[in-house]
Chain A
Amino acid sequence: MNPSTHYDSSNNSDAASGEDTLRLIATLPVPGGLEDRVKSRLKDAPSSGRLLLWPSSFGSGASSTVRAAAAAAIVFVVVGGGWGVYSHVKPAMESRVIVMPRQVEGSRDAGSFSSAGAMRTPQTLNGPVLTPPQADGQRKSDENLSGKTAAKKSERARNPLPKKPAVESAVR
């Protein structure tokens, strides 16, 4: 083929020399006996590419009837199967209570990991400690009380009580 395309003339010789090589390839001699080999292979090959060969014993009229019957049977089986599945499968009821599976007795440690006596404690954060609010009067009395006790303590420290004689305490 030689479509009338025009391209840069400076590239002409390069491209032409490249195409000469391709033309040489396109005109390479064909190996002898190619046609015979192809024909012999075609003879050996099965004449029909159908996957399912219909028995030829059926006449043309009977064949169409049997085909229709077979098609109807296939449709019947498919529809019947679908209906069977549809009628037997019931939608699962939504359960509100989660039932835990019962543990089989004696198999507590068999076949499963034991807890090794560990108590499961939820991980919680240490929150702030709340102190109950106190009334002003109470707080003052507490402060006074604490002031008094502190004064007593300091006084005791300064003037300790005189020791009583042991005999006296024994008589009493």
Chain B
Amino acid sequence: MEIFDSAVHDAIRPHADEEALAALVDQYAATLYRVAFSILRNATDAEDAVQEAFLRVLRHRETLGEIRDHRVWLIRIVWNISLDRKRRAKTRPETEDISELARMLPADGLSAEEKVSAAQHHAHVLACVERLPAKEREVLILSAFEELSSVEIAGVLGVTESSVRSRLFRARNLMAELLQRPRSIR
């Protein structure tokens, strides 16, 4: 996803008005939704998180001019909101979310049997992701977003870039170990 930050910056810096906020929504709502969805794994919850993020921006729009990178700032807001929501809403068991999401993932050009197999694989992968330590899991989830660089991930998580790299290294090794284990052991 290509994002043009300069136009938004120019619109916001002079006056944080309605149009600037609308421009932010147009630019980043989709990205924020995907980030929220990657944590919450529920369309309604993800949309609520995006709306809450923009409501927070509206409340603090006086400070918009001081923000250097609006994209990272917004992703950080929606990231924290989503984590907070996930922490609070533990009403549904995790396995239900995983199986539902695995079915949602695109499987074009596959036979019915292959689709079932792909869904099972996705579910297995997501279950392994859930078993990762929180720090490694967060970096791995954010690294799946093509548009986010390691510097930007570091900005979202509030850590250094080297931390991001080392966590990602650990996360990938752990994931490989978990995926190599036979399913019966789990």
Contacts and interface: CB of A to CB of B under 8 A. Distances in A.
A14 B180 contact: yes
A136 interface: no
B149 interface: yes
Nearest to B176: A11
A94 interface: no
B144 A22 contact: yes
A14 B144 contact: no
A18 B179 contact: yes
A5 B162 CA distance: 11
B55 A45 contact: yes
Given A24-B122, A25-B105, A1 B173 contact: no
A15 B122 contact: no
Contacts, number: 134
Interface stretch (B3-11, B27-35, B80-88): B27-35
A23 interface: yes
A7 interface: yes
Contact of B34 (A7, A26, A38): A26
Interface string A1-32: 11101011011101101110111111110110
Contact of A3 (B30, B33, B59, B150): B150
B34 A28 contact: yes
B55 A31 contact: no
B58 A3 contact: no
A17 B121 contact: yes
A21 B121 CA distance: 9
Interface stretch (B64-72, B109-117, B125-133): B125-133
Contact of B25 (A3, A28, A42): A42
A134 interface: no
Nearest to B173: A7
A162 B72 CA distance: 135
Nearest to B57: A42
B37 A38 contact: no
A109 interface: no
B168 A25 contact: no
Contact of A26 (B38, B51, B125, B153): B38
Given A3-B143, A11-B176, A49-B59, A30 B33 contact: yes
A39 interface: yes
Given A42-B55, A45-B58, A47-B58, A25 B176 contact: no
Nearest to A6: B169
Contacts of B104: 28
Contacts of B122: 21, 24
A143 to B, nearest CB: 95
Contacts of B180: 11, 14
A37 B22 CA distance: 11
Given A15-B176, A22-B129, A34-B47, A42 B144 contact: no
Contacts of B30: 30, 34-35
Interface of A: 1-3, 5, 7-8, 10-12, 14-15, 17-19, 21-28, 30-31, 34-35, 37-39, 41-42, 45, 47-49
Nearest 8 pairs of A and B residues by beta carbon: A11-B176, A49-B59, A22-B144, A21-B125, A3-B150, A14-B179, A14-B176, A15-B172
Given A8-B176, A42-B25, 7 more contacts: A1-B146, A5-B168, A7-B169, A21-B121, A21-B126, A22-B129, A48-B59
